[in-house]
Amino acid sequence: EIVLTQSPGTLSLSPGARATLSCRASQSVTSNYLAWYQQKPGQAPRLLIYGASRRATGIPDRFSGSGSGTDFTLTISRVEPEDFAVYYCQQYGSSPYTFGQGTRLEIK
Amino acid sequence: EVQLVQSGAEVKKPGESLTISCKGSGYNFATYWIGWVRQMPGKGLEWMGIIHPGDSDTRYSPSFQGQVTFSVDKSISTAYLQWSSLKASDTAMYYCARPFGFPGPFNYWGQGTLVTVSS
């Protein structure tokens, strides 16, 4: 089973700042099948990025994904007030398709 | 419009059985896998497994194998998650979700079903 470790656990930023979230895999992710989700309180997760760097439909271009192999990054170029949430990475290259433990992006 | 609509919240006692449902609409239900994700109170997402409605091919996470059962009734476009004997530790929000391919991430999600197990 691939273990995904996200860092930091909590990221405190002001609106307009750049956010960099990390996801590290315990072994190489097949075909870079790595996704990022955003979850707000009381809501289901929303897919942001898949295939490590492809934005899902309707996702603003301030969200970008990068990385390959075992190290992946989600970047929010300028954080908007509605971006404060919890972010999860998920690998879907090897079953079970595990999630990371999440990074909370909070207002500074 | 693709929609996944889950059954309502449940409150059960330890040892009881339970089945929750997830009804798909707006697409060919038999064509796309349906997955289940657990989120315990205040915790992260856990991938439980996935089932293909067309042939009931099922993949369980080892963490959930033998603890739950997935099933589908494609005639009514509905997937099910069932427990034969609930434990307090099954208290969680359960989401069904659909990937746009297999393997694939989940791009459509149900609203979640809260299951509370308490004596």
Confidence of residue B102 (pLDDT cuts 50, 70, 90): confident
The answer, yes or no, to whether residue B118 has pLDDT greater than 90, is yes
pLDDT of residue B101 exceeding 90: no
Task: Return d(Cα B60, Cα B4) in angstroms, integer.
Answer: 20
pLDDT per residue, tens digit, chain A (108 aa), is 999 999 999 999 999 999 999 999 999 999 999 999 999 999 999 999 999 999 999 999 999 999 999 999 999 999 999 999 999 999 999 999 999 999 999 999
Q: Give me the sheet containing A86-91, strands edge to edge.
A: A10-13, A103-107, A86-91, A34-39, A46-50, A54-55
Instruction: Give how far B43 is from chain A: nearest CA, Å.
Output: 8
Per-residue pLDDT band for B100 (boundaries 50, 70, 90) equals: confident
Report chain A residues whose CB lies below 8 A from the CB of B97. 44
Share of chain A above pLDDT 90, in %: 99
Of B47, B95, B107, which has the smallest distance from its Cβ to A96's Cβ? B47
pLDDT band at B103 (very low <50, low <70, confident <90, very high): confident
- Environment class of residue A38 by beta-carbon count within 10 Å: exposed (0-12), middle (13-18) or buried (19+)? buried
Contact B44 A88 (CB under 8 A): yes
pLDDT at B10: 98
For residue A44, give the nearest of B47, B99, B110 by CB distance.
Answer: B110
As a whole number of angstroms, the distance between CA B67 and CA B15 comes to 13
Provide the edge-to-edge strand list for the sheet that holds A4-7: A4-7, A19-25, A71-76, A63-68
- The pLDDT value recorded for residue A98 is 97
Residue A28 confidence (pLDDT): 97
Across the interface, do A97 and B103 touch by the CB < 8 Å criterion? yes
